[in-house]
Chain A
Amino acid sequence: MTDAIRTVGCWERDDVTVAEVETALSGLRRHEVRAAVRTSVLTLVAVVDHQAQADAARDVVADLGARHPSRTIVLVVGDDDDGESGLDASATVHVVERQGTAICYEDVVLRVRGRARHHLDSVVESFTLPDLPVALWMPSRLPVPGDPLLTAADRLVVDSRAVPEAGDVLARISVLGRRLSVTDLSWIRLAPWRSLLAGLFEGGVNRPFLSGVHHVQVAGNHGPRHLLGGWLMRSLDLPRTAVTLTPAEHASIRLSAVADGRTGEFVVERPGSERSIVSCIDIDGGACVRQTLRMRRQWPALSLASALTRVGEDITYQMALSGALELAS
């Protein structure tokens, strides 16, 4: 099913006030009759460092538009000095059509200059839609716990893999999680590994092995391997010594277990550069029962859509995070 997306109006001006942007946005919507009906579910606020990131964020949001009709505010916050505050803005209104149903969504890109960069909450509040949740998305950075933007947000979406110098990123996310609900896109991307592994133990035959897991080996990048290891350590109530983490380009999990005198190896891995994940069950060295899952396309938008669908805390992620911190310590 394909969506027809049309841009029905755009506006751009430098050195403007928030009120002028609001007026321009209302004007754009008035010109499109269908756009007069709003069916938004949230306000999404993205904070990026430069225009290229802003364009990338808008591309992701374009894919997202049909799933989460929203107003998106992209804040471009450079490394300017703390000089005179100013705002350059562009606003675009789009209509998505599918089978005769049309909805509209809009994005506003605001380049924030000077000291206003330290008061982004005051910029954002003017644009948030009434009575709807505000999701704060930081594609490649983490806010500090005292960031005033956090007061304007109901949910924080980050990507622990994309944060530069990520040594302590999980610990910093853990601190932020005490203040508001945090979704980590890196964890969302690991969902196929988790669901495939969990599925291996559905049904009566393999279930007994779950209580007999004695060793877990997780490979992958820094961050993902810790999260997967932490998740398994906590879920299966294993001692820290039962979990081995090794660096690798792609994530893989191997569970070694015994049950009723039988030994079982349960593996979920992404072989090479293929966009697929393979599982294998090996009981007593017998024939491997394999399953292959194709990874979906459009990962960035799908991950973000999945993150925005969630409300409340992700208890499993919290558990994985706590385990990951123990494994990293």
Chain B
Amino acid sequence: MTSDNPLLEPTLDRVAPPAILVVFGASGDLTSRKLMPAVERLGLRRLLPGGFSVVGVGRTPMSDDEFLDRMRTLVAEGGGVGDEAAHVWDAFAGGGFRYVAGDYGDPDTYARLGRLFAELDRDRGTSGNRLYYLATPPATFPVIAAALGEAGLNHPDHDDGFVRIVIEKPYGHDEASAASLDTTMHAAFEESQVYRIDHYLGKETVQNVLALRFANAIFEPVWNRRYVDHVQITVTESLGVGHRGGFYERAGALRDIVQNHVMQVLALTLMEPPATFDATGIRDEKVKALRAVDVFGPEDVAKDVVRAQYRRGWAQGAEVPGYRDEEGVDPYSVTETYVAMRLHVDNWRWAGVPFYVRTGKRLPKRVTEVAMQFKEVPHLPFAASQAEGLDPDLMVLRIQPDEGITLRFGAKVPGQAFQVRSVSMDFFYGAAFLEETPEAYERLLLDALVGDPTLFIRSDEVEQAWRICDPVLSAWENDDVPLAQYEAGTWGPIEADRLLEEDGRRWRKP
């Protein structure tokens, strides 16, 4: 759509086209904590066009003005931009911020929405463009999608317009339910209209993995089984489940983190260089990479996967409760708060290289990183005593916090003797570019508005991620794998350490 506007310059920031952002679940937490701050920042960066409008849909009765005041207040309280963004909110005050109260399954809700859209198109020039954002519980996705379809609000009314729908994870709770959700979504929307969001992909540093891999000739030649001994992917949190106990009981670490965030980071690490840096090129390669991951057989799960739950302990200087003592959690819960897996990849690049992934709550630090340990040199020409401090070379891509790259290599210790020791060289992304980077939701919301699905997850990516996780869930449901325990504030259960020790390796301490 942008290609036939000769005034649009590729070097200038992309500006969203005139559109209505329709947020279902408008009175919910996600809307005020993530979406509206993103709208505020986009407005402040002058990336929203005149007439851009927001329509909130929710069950809570509210007037248009109340909705605007509430969002403005909540965004300010949540650390919004402040006075500098006052004009962004003021610009909405002339009828650009609307609210429709109603039940998500009631056709009348959608009839009123249709009339409101026509009014905004006429008065604010929103050109028939809609971006639906489902900030609602997953159970409502099929209801809203079907209702939008039945009301005829699922397609643009002219060739240049767009109607897109953004849905949040989780995409189903297993492969079958994800396929069922897809069937429902696809009954009302084309796949090209569906934007499945994983905010991890909106992080600058996740995208930087692509830049590092495919913009540099020095890394790609060693990014394979010939040089890499093994890879560790770590996605950990220092917090417990907090007030999300009820949700977490149904999800667990595998569904909450592994099936989406970990699989996305894994795919970016495994994938081949795309022929083109666009949505199709990148997503095709990610799917191909995930397809090469070996699926666990029933006997493999016990051998290659560890699940665990945190118990009471000390974390970051405070005594914290065990998972079963958290609010909303069953005292006899077997929901996992930690998962470690050994994955094998069946392709030319990675055959024989184990990928160890781990995620967990109440670990010592909040960390996301990919650590690639290289093979040892074929022959070390020093006496053993001269290289006592030498570890294998290592490259760590730190995604959060302290985004950057660490390279560990051997160097001579200064002095008369010849001693070799490992040293680490750190590159801090933030120290090279202190530019203010867009928040993940800000970036992804703009992408959805301009119609760039590169950083959104395609249906077949979801399918492949479930293909890897489903056998694990089945084995756990059959109680084939015991639930281990770990003390809060530690790096996980001893069973996870054994997973690597039996291969002669050990987990990094990030």
A residues apposed to B, CB below 8 Å: 1, 3, 37, 39, 41, 66-67, 69, 96, 98-99, 101-103, 191-192, 194-195, 197-207, 210, 232, 235-236, 279, 281, 287, 289-294, 310, 314, 316
Q: Which of B9, B16, B50, B91 contacts A194 (CB 8 A)?
A: B9
Q: Which of B2, B12, B428 contacts A191 (CB 8 A)?
A: B12
Q: Which 4 A-B pairs have the closest CB atoms?
A: A291-B50, A204-B160, A203-B127, A198-B7
In whole Å, how far is A147's beta carbon from the nearest beta carbon of chain B? 27
Q: Which of A99, A103, A290 contacts B50 (CB 8 A)?
A: A290
Q: How far is the CA of A98 from the CA of B436 in the complex (A)?
A: 11
Q: Is there an interface contact between A292 and B6, defined as CB atoms closer than 8 Å? A: no
- B1-34 interface bits toward A, Cβ cutoff 8 Å, 1 = contact, 0 = none: 1101111110111011111000000000000000
Which residues in B have their C-beta under 8 angstroms from that of A281?
125
Q: Is there an interface contact between A202 and B49, defined as CB atoms closer than 8 Å? A: yes
* Given A66-B434, A101-B430, A316-B6 contact (CB < 8 Å): no
| B232 interface residue (CB < 8 Å to A) | no
Q: Is there an interface contact between A202 and B18, defined as CB atoms closer than 8 Å? A: yes
| B502 interface residue (CB < 8 Å to A) | no
Q: How far is the CA of A216 from the CA of B1 in the complex (A)?
A: 24
| B129 interface residue (CB < 8 Å to A) | yes
Q: How far is the CA of A3 from the CA of B91 in the complex (A)?
A: 29
Which residues in B have their C-beta under 8 angstroms from that of A66?
434-435
Interface of A is mostly: mixed
In whole Å, how far is B42's beta carbon from the nearest beta carbon of chain A? 13
Q: Is there an interface contact between A292 and B87, defined as CB atoms closer than 8 Å? A: yes
| B240 interface residue (CB < 8 Å to A) | no
Q: Is there an interface contact between A198 and B51, defined as CB atoms closer than 8 Å? A: no
Among A203, A205, A232, A310, residue most surrounded by chain B Cβ atoms (within 10 Å): A203
Q: Which of B11, B13, B123, B129 contacts A310 (CB 8 A)?
A: B11
* Given A210-B6, A289-B125, A202-B17 contact (CB < 8 Å): yes
Q: How far is the CA of A205 from the CA of B122 in the complex (A)?
A: 11
Which residues in B have their C-beta under 8 angstroms from that of A205?
18, 125, 127-128
Among B16, B126, B160, B427, residue most surrounded by chain A Cβ atoms (within 10 Å): B160
Chain B residue at minimum C-beta to C-beta distance from A195: B12
Q: How far is the CA of A98 from the CA of B435 in the complex (A)?
A: 11
| B139 interface residue (CB < 8 Å to A) | no
In whole Å, how far is A287's beta carbon from the nearest beta carbon of chain B? 8
Chain B residue at minimum C-beta to C-beta distance from A296: B46
Q: Is there an interface contact between B5 and A98, defined as CB atoms closer than 8 Å? A: no
* Given A202-B2, A202-B15, A203-B127, A316-B9 contact (CB < 8 Å): yes
Q: How far is the CA of A103 from the CA of B126 in the complex (A)?
A: 44
Q: Is there an interface contact between B7 and A210, defined as CB atoms closer than 8 Å? A: yes
Chain A residue at minimum C-beta to C-beta distance from B428: A101
Q: Is there an interface contact between B128 and A98, defined as CB atoms closer than 8 Å? A: no
Q: Is there an interface contact between B91 and A292, defined as CB atoms closer than 8 Å? A: yes
30 A–B contacts, CB within 8 A, in A order: A1-B436, A37-B431, A39-B428, A39-B431, A39-B432, A69-B432, A98-B434, A101-B431, A191-B12, A198-B7, A202-B2, A202-B17, A203-B126, A203-B128, A204-B127, A204-B158, A204-B159, A205-B125, A205-B127, A207-B5, A210-B5, A210-B6, A232-B7, A235-B6, A235-B7, A281-B125, A290-B50, A294-B87, A310-B11, A314-B11
